[in-house]
Amino acid sequence: MLEMLNAGLRSPDYTITDNLTWILRRDSAFSRDALAREIDQFDVRKLGPEYELPIVFMLGRHDWQVPAVIAADYFSTISAPQKRLVWFEESAHSPPSEEPAAFARALVEVALPLQR
């Protein structure tokens, strides 16, 4: 969580006001509570099983916050021009910080070629 907070504070996309609002104001549309409400109401299955763009799922094998087994099951039901599933065997919910070298390699070797 500290890594995410630090990244948000250093990001050129967010002002200090944005960050303080997210941290302190529970009634803001940008607050953690608002984000939690959005996540609770989101059902990816409502998007349908067909996508018109490449899809990449990067899953931590030990993720139980967003259970990887459920994500992988959903992945098997979708169709896309190209789709790739990448497992991070030593990760749970945060492969970018738990396996940074493997994550960077997957971005370059798996995701990047799909944009071409």
Q: What tens digit of pLDDT does each residue of 29-44 get?
A: 666 677 788 888 989 8
Indicate whether 27 pLDDT > 70: no
DSSP alpha helix (H) spans, 15-99: 16-24, 32-41, 68-77, 95-98
Q: What tens digit of pLDDT does each residue of 51-89 get?
A: 999 999 999 999 998 899 999 999 999 999 999 999 999
Q: What is the pLDDT of residue 90?
A: 97
Q: What is the pLDDT of residue 8?
A: 72
In whole angstroms, what is the distance from residue 8 CA to residue 103 CA? Answer: 19
- Between 107 and 37, where is the model more confident? 107
